[in-house]
Amino acid sequence: MRQAWAELVGAYPAAGRVEADVDPDHLARTLIAAAQGAIAQQALFGDVRVEVLKDGLRALRSMAETKIS
């Protein structure tokens, strides 16, 4: 399954959807983890609205990258 996702997202850099230096396997693993987390939340808490997840992802994307020293 991970390989299929990696192949799918492997086209994202050329399409300008993600930065060119992103490893497709890393992106696939992250997307799978997010999907599994959404499924777990649905099972534990009931209704998980797409708007809530979209808002959370938007907030994460807006975070500035900081170096840990």
- What does the DSSP assignment read for 11-42? TTTTTTSS-TT--HHHHHHHHHHHHHHHHHHH
CA angle 3, 57, 20 (to 5 degrees): 50
Residue 41 amino acid letter: Q
**Among candidates 68, 38, 33, 31, which has minimal Cα distance to 53?**
38
Q: Is the pTM of this model over 0.75?
A: no
pLDDT-derived band at 69 (thresholds 50, 70, 90) equals: low
Each residue's pLDDT tens digit, 8-47: 898 988 898 888 898 999 999 999 999 999 999 999 998 8
